[in-house]
Structure 1
Amino acid sequence: MAQSDNFYSKSTSVFWACKAFTDGRTISHREAMNEIGAWRLGAIAHRLRREFGWPVEVEYRGSGKVAYYSLAPDTDKANLRFPRSAKALGNDGRAA
Structure 2
Amino acid sequence: MKQLAPTPYDGSPDIQKFENFVMEASAWVKACNLPKSQQCFVVSRRLTSTAKSFFMHKVAGNHHKWKLTRFFRELFNFCFPLDYRDQQRLKLRRCLQRER
Report the TM-score when normalising by structure 1. Answer: 0.27
**Structure having the larger proportion of residues in strand:** 1
Report the TM-score when normalising by structure 2. Answer: 0.26
